[in-house]
Chain A
């Protein structure tokens, strides 16, 4: 079983749609969860960061973590063509062990 699994997509939605992106993981030691956005041939850009379980909202973005199910989600409301990118989930263990383990990324296309 892969440590972090993410549907590669592509996911194509119309402008204004609500987008749901998900990752599952197997390592119960993961405590820090991040979502990055990556445009083609660019570096990952941090979108959201959450610690342990719960929800976090920032503008049009909401991150959810369910540690009991080992499942994390990113919701994008009112999606825009500029949101078209690959979305990477990433996670790490304790504060002392900081290596991020990434999912393979989901490619999102928002059609105008």
Chain B
């Protein structure tokens, strides 16, 4: 069964460093998303992406964040200058229509 994959599974970085989280969505899906989940809190929407542009973003997704589909298979989330409060689980999701399928997540720890 097709699934969303994410790399790395864990990333530790120093505050102020740039990180890039990578995702391979399900191959025939057209919509891509990033969500995050701070430990013990709700899953929160960050951004959705369709047809090579952002279609929607939340208040969390400020100028420190960017997304890109650098080729036909990968979808990336970049955090330019990480803060302690960026420590969270980051989930990529993809959908063909309304139902979104999530990857296993990248656990980001900012020290």
Choose from A46, A95, A97, A104 the contact partner of B100 (Cβ within 8 Å): A46
Contact A36 B102 (CB under 8 A): yes
Across the interface, which residues of A come within 8 angstroms of B35, CB to CB? 100
Across the interface, which residues of B come within 8 angstroms of A43, CB to CB? 4, 91, 102-105
B interface, how many residues as a size bin?
A: 20 to 34
- 0/1 per residue, B20-57, Cβ < 8 Å to A? 00000000000101010000011111001000000110
Contact A98 B31 (CB under 8 A): yes
Q: How far is the CB of B45 from chain A (nearest CB, A)?
A: 4
Contact A92 B98 (CB under 8 A): yes
Q: How far is the CB of A78 from chain B (nearest CB, A)?
A: 24
Contact B48 A98 (CB under 8 A): yes
Contact A101 B45 (CB under 8 A): yes
Known: A43-B105, A97-B56. A88 touches B43 (CB 8 A): yes
Across the interface, which residues of A come within 8 angstroms of B58, CB to CB? 99
Across the interface, which residues of B come within 8 angstroms of A90, CB to CB? 43
CA distance A104 to B4 in the complex (A): 23
CA distance A53 to B104 in the complex (A): 30
Q: Which A29-77 residues have a C-beta within 8 angstroms of B?
A: 32, 34, 36, 41-46, 49, 51
Which chain A residue lies CB-closest to B4? A43
B interface list, Cβ under 8 A from A: 4, 31, 33, 35, 41-45, 48, 55-56, 58, 89, 91, 95, 97-105, 107
A interface list, Cβ under 8 A from B: 32, 34, 36, 41-46, 49, 51, 88, 90, 92, 95, 97-105
Other A-B pairs, 20, CB within 8 Å; known A34-B99, A36-B102, A46-B100: A32-B98, A41-B105, A42-B105, A43-B91, A43-B102, A43-B103, A43-B104, A44-B91, A45-B102, A49-B98, A88-B43, A95-B97, A98-B33, A98-B48, A98-B55, A98-B100, A99-B33, A102-B44, A103-B42, A104-B41
